[in-house]
Amino acid sequence: MRAVAEAFRAAGVTGRLHARDIDTGGVVDVGGDEPVVLASVYKVPLLVAFYREAAAGRLDPAERITLPAGGRSPGPTGTSVMLDDVTLSLRDLALLMITVSDNGAADTIYDYVGRDTVNAAMAAFGLTRTRVTGNGRDLFAGLLDDAAAADLGDLWERLDEPGLSGRLGALDPTRTSASTPAEMTALLALIWRDEAAPPDACMHMRRMLGLQVWPHRLSSGFPFDDVHVAGKTGTLPTIRNEIGVVEYPDGGRYAVAVFTRSLLPVAVLPEADAVIGTAARLAVEELRRRP
């Protein structure tokens, strides 16, 4: 769609989009088969694998576990920034992982589920281009190593050094957790059609994705009180992603995956966040116009 490509250009990003009508199978595709860096979107395949393991009886989602105050994975939200020991059930950790992108919670879920289990679950769905290579802690360490940076603040401040972002493996889909927009909308469609796991597990996943707090990306494109938006963001330096499902009151349900990369190496770039919503709306409106 030319309008989507134009919106990406005007926002100063390169963008890839795939939108899928969950019920008719109609699609809008703007580079939807290109490899993309998942960033925190990897938490959705992880969530699906978690509930499949639970359904198979290999883990108990209600098991309460304690994450000690020291040593939780770094991140800007949730258990990563809490001060004291945290005791929660595994599924409430999954809730924090999805609703606020909690890295401490996500890495705990990852330890329980395992990387190979996530990849095997994706392969079982035929999502062969979706590969999870590591957890948040791995990604963080790799990012600082590649940049020879002391911490993330240091890396951000140096990100305007030309050439630096090209050296970061975490931003290269061949060297980090990656997928394609089309495979991510396929995964969402499975969750929304109760096919990713047993129906009650899919219901829990849909609930979590619907409780995500961030308003600035996918959700911002649908400023309509009667439209429901569920999603999961993904963020790394210059990378802004979100995948989600938009549900209209007439029953229309659309899975959308938008992956962007900005030219400007700045942390706060509202137009790059907003174009995720704008592009998604253009694609969904196109799908809704079709007979």
Partner 1 sequence: MNLVGHLSCFVAVAEELHFGRAADRLGMAQPPLSQRIQRLERELGVKLFDRSSRHVALTAAGELLLGEARDLLARADRITALAERVRDGEALRAGVPAGLGGGVVAALIAAYRERRPGVRLDLRELPTTTQVRALLDGSLDVGVLRHPCETRGLSLGPLLDQRIGVLLRAPAPPELALADLAGRDLVLFPRDEAPGSHDDWLAACRRHGFAPPTVHEAHPPFALGLVLAGTAVAFSPRVPDTAEAVWRPLRGEPLAWRTSCAWRNDTVGPAVADFTSVASAVFRREAAMTEPGPRRRVVPRPASGFLA
Binding site residues, partner 1, CB under 8 A: 9, 12, 39-40, 74-77, 101, 103, 106, 136, 139-140, 143, 152-153, 156-163, 165-166, 214, 216, 233-236, 263-269, 273
Smallest separation, CB 157 to partner 1 (Å): 5
Map residue 150 onto helix, strand or coil: coil
Closer residue to partner 1 in complex, CB, 236/258: 236
Closer residue to partner 1 in complex, CB, 101/278: 101
Pair 30, 45: CB distance under 8 Å:
no
Closer residue to partner 1 in complex, CB, 21/242: 242
Smallest separation, CB 125 to partner 1 (Å): 18
Helices (H), 100-192: 103-113, 115-124, 136-147, 152-158, 181-192
Q: How far apart are CA 95 and CA 47, in angstroms?
A: 9
Closer residue to partner 1 in complex, CB, 169/252: 169
HSE-CB for 254 with a 13 A CA cutoff: 30
Closer residue to partner 1 in complex, CB, 261/281: 261
Cα–Cα nearest to 75, from 120, 95, 117, 105? 105
Closer residue to partner 1 in complex, CB, 151/195: 151
Map residue 219 onto helix, strand or coil: helix
Closer residue to partner 1 in complex, CB, 171/197: 171
Pair 79, 105: CB distance under 8 Å:
yes
Closer residue to partner 1 in complex, CB, 22/144: 144
Smallest separation, CB 181 to partner 1 (Å): 18
Helix 90-99 / helix 199-210 crossing angle, nearest 10 deg: 40
Q: How far apart are CA 17 and CA 2, in angstroms?
A: 12
Smallest separation, CB 52 to partner 1 (Å): 23
Q: How far apart are CA 212 and CA 229, in angstroms?
A: 9
Name the amino acid, one letter, at 26. Answer: G
The residues facing 231 across adjacent strands are: 244
List CB contacts of 112: < 8 A, sequence separation 6 or more.
Answer: 50, 53, 59, 90
From the number of C-beta atoms within 10 Å of its C-beta (0-12, 13-18, 19+), residue 182 rates as buried
Pair 230, 245: CB distance under 8 Å:
yes
